[in-house]
Every structure is written in C-alpha cells, then in structure tokens.
Amino acid sequence: MLEKSVLRFLNPFTVVREYFRKPVEAFLVNQYLGYKKKTDESLTSVKELMYRVAIVTLFITVILWLSIFMYVGFYNIYMPNVTHVRPVHFQFKPCEDKAGICSYPYAYVQLTKASNILMQKQPYRIKLVLEMPESEVNKDLGMFMVCVQMRAKGGYLVSSSCRSAMIRYRSLLHRIMRTFVFSPLYLGGMDEEKQQLKVELFSDFEDDPEKPATDAYVELQSRFAQVYSSELHVQAHFTGLRYLMFNWPKISAVFDSSSLFDEDALLKEFQQIESKEEIKKT
C-alpha cells in the first residue's frame, strides 16, 4: 500500500490533477458563479462580460500549456534512449614466429561509467556491426562465431550469447559488374570494396536491476577474420505504450495531453451547477 501511494504521488498526471487542475477548476467555477449571479441581477455590462471571458480563456490556455509541458516531462522520464552506440576496438595476440594473429580478436566495451545505462524492464536488441573488406581471406573464411558477454561491475556475468555470421556471397559476374559500375568511386577514394555485417546477439535483452550491465566483452571466434572497424549497437525494442509513443508521437501527445486537460469534466461541473441553480429558483 505504501509503495502504491508513493507511486501515485510521484505520478505526474496525479500531481497535475490534484494540485493544478482541481484548484483551477474551482477558480473557474467561482468565476462562473459570480458572473451568473451578476447576470441574474441584471448586471449585463459588456466590460464585465469581456473581463470574465478573458479570465476563463487565460486559465484554459494555462491548463492546456501545462498539460503539454507535463507530457514532455513524462516523455523524457518514461521513454529511454532509443540507441546506444559504442566503438569496438579489437585486440589480439600476435604470432611470434610468423605474420598474423595467434588468438581470437576480442574487445572490452565500456557501456557506462555510472551504475546503469539501460532502463529496467525494457527489452533491448544488441547488435555487433562489423565493417569487413571483401578480401580473398574473408571470402574463403565462411561462417564464424561472434560472442558477447554482458557484465556488471566487478566482472559479474549478467548474460552471454553467441551467433554465427559470414559475409554476403557475390558471384564472379556480380563482382565484375559492380567493380565496373563503381570504379569511378573506387578510384576517387569515395567508396571501398567492403561489406557491413549486422550480427544480432540479443533480441530481447533485459538488464538485471540488482546488477546492471556496465561492460561488454566481445569476441570473434576466428583468427582469420579481417575487420576494418566495429560498433556495438544497443537498441530499445518498444512494446505497449512506449511503442505507441515512439511510432505515433503526435497522436499519443494529443491523447495524453487531453487526459490532463479534461474539458468534459469541467463542462459537466458547470451543467450540474446550472441544474442546482434552477432547482433553487423553483
């Protein structure tokens, strides 16, 4: 019960309804009653009428803008960053008696220096993006394994995953035609013969709230893979309300802002007051 009451108190919509909308509605009702009383007493001054209309319009505008600002604040708190991108710098142990590497390329990627970077109970897609040259070595490499370990502070293993990958096959005819078409770009240094591999390592990774992931250990389980550069992409996979707010921001903004700016409730309250006044007269 205590947790629910705290969450209810921290809810921005509840705060606005209890501490902003209701006092403003009460003020509007008092203004309406004052205007109606003076109207019943035959005080039909145009100046007084314009004054009342201006006050009501002003406060409705304030409520509307307050609803918009509260939605923006709620969006920034509720919605996580869509994508986190970190560079991956591979290391390896070189061979002593010959050229090449004598260990699997690996890299330690620091996701954050703080305690956590990922939002709790939010699924994430984690991808390793490899930029590989279309060299003969990579063409003959075939399939190779890509592994990642998500670790918390102190090296605690949160989760691990391995996926297979390989560069796209291109026939001899395709390579000849592609080289002929893009030869001006190749010669001018504006393009290169390379491929970009996107290896999805996690499709629905959820961070551990007690031991959030702060680092990632990436390993290519092939000594012959040639890589220009690499990046680790952590992308939020939205569902439910977050999906609607991200894919249809304008519609969700109008809907959520209107939930704060409850015009119908205000009109119903005015109608109830009018009915009470009519009953008193009869």
pLDDT of residue 3: 45
Q: For the chain, which ranges sit under pLDDT 50?
A: 2-4, 6-7, 9-10, 43, 270, 274
pTM of the model: 0.65
Tokens 């009451």 sit on residue: 5
Per-residue pLDDT reduced to its tens digit, 48-89 = 667 777 877 887 787 778 777 777 777 777 777 778 999 999
pLDDT of residue 6: 46
Beta carbons of 84 and 111 less than 8 angstroms apart: yes
- Domains annotated on the chain, with CATH: 2-78+248-281 (no CATH), 83-238 (2.60.120)
Nearest to 132 by CA among 183, 95, 168: 168
* Tally of residues, the chain: 282
pLDDT of residue 98: 83
Strand order in the sheet with 215-221: 106-110, 215-221, 144-151, 157-165
According to DSSP H, which parts of the chain are helical? 2-10, 12-16, 22-40, 46-78, 136-139, 172-188, 240-247, 249-260, 263-281
Query: Which letter, b or e, does each residue of 48-72 get, where b requires 16 or more Cβ atoms within 10 Å of its Cβ?
Result: eeeebeeeeeeeeeebeebbbebbe
pLDDT of residue 201: 95
CA 21 remoteness from chain centre: 29
Per-residue pLDDT reduced to its tens digit, 160-180 = 999 999 999 888 888 889 888
